Amino acid sequence: MQNFWLVTPIILVMGVTLYFIWALKKREKQNRTRKEIMKSGDEGEYKVQAVLKALQKPNSQYRVYHNIKLGPDPEHTNEYDTVIVGPNGIFHIETKNYGGERGGIIDIDSQENWILHKRNGYSKIIANPTGQVDSHEYRLRGFLNKVVGYRNIPTQGIIVLSCDNVKVRFNKSRNSSVPILNRHELVPYIRNYRGGKIALYPRTIKKICQRIEDMNPSAQAR
């Protein structure tokens, strides 16, 4: 019995030590995964930014902002990957880099569930970004109504898949107002968009851009 009480503290110390080692390794793995996801997201955004340079040429009617916050007031904002202001409306873009460089297939069923099939044979359900785009639309409307003072500006949310090797398969009954485009389809879609009932005059575009920059002091249209 005396030996038992002598050994017990040692066992406890070893158990606590092993637990802390396991917890530390788990945290390191989570941090690595988080960094990989952030890196992948950044790479996707850079790819989309590259194709949008076609809208940033001299004398372009479009103004492009990346990584800005908008909302009805500074305390209630959403962060946007990209916002484009042009004569045919305001476009807010949510960039996704699903599948990394190898890509894969995304199946979207009639219930708007997204299933990603990677090329290595692994499949998983991923969050449908449409809800995120809808939230951005709500905040953008609040910004236009309360900060800019406009209520009838045409707006359009877009999901852009930055990986060229990802293909999307839609259920035939899918009905959504949010288009899902690859990055090379983005500029033609914006230029040909006719979903709004009014055109934005240069002075209107200038006012909207000024309010965007007021809410984002470091932002500058490109």
Q: How far apart are CA 14 and CA 87, in angstroms?
A: 68
**Residue 79's closest CA among 106, 45, 113, 126?**
45
Look at residue 11 in the predicted model and tell me its pLDDT.
65
> From 3.30.1330.10, 3.40.1350.10, 1.10.10.10, 3.50.7.10, which CATH number describes the 41-215 domain?
3.40.1350.10
Q: How far apart are CA 146 and CA 110, in angstroms?
A: 36
Look at residue 28 in the predicted model and tell me its pLDDT.
58
93-109 as b/e: b if 16+ CB within 10 A: bbbbbbbbeebbbbbbe
**Residue 92's closest CA among 144, 56, 42?**
144
Residue segments in the chain with a per-residue pLDDT below the cut of 70: 1-16, 19-20, 22-42, 173-174, 222
Kindly give the pairing relationship between strand 114-118 and strand 123-126: antiparallel
Look at residue 162 in the predicted model and tell me its pLDDT.
93
Q: How far apart are CA 161 and CA 159, in angstroms?
A: 7
How many CB atoms neighbour CB 183 within 10 A?
A: 20
Q: Which residues contact 143 (CB under 8 A, 6 or more apart)?
A: 70, 71, 72, 211, 215
Look at residue 40 in the predicted model and tell me its pLDDT.
45
Dmax over CA atoms of the chain, in Å, equals 90
**Residue 106's closest CA among 75, 132, 130?**
130
pLDDT tens track for 90-128: 999 999 998 777 789 999 988 889 999 988 888 999 999
Look at residue 218 in the predicted model and tell me its pLDDT.
86
**Residue 94's closest CA among 136, 35, 42?**
136
Q: At what angle do helices 183-192 and 2-51 cross, to 10 degrees?
A: 50
Look at residue 170 in the predicted model and tell me its pLDDT.
86
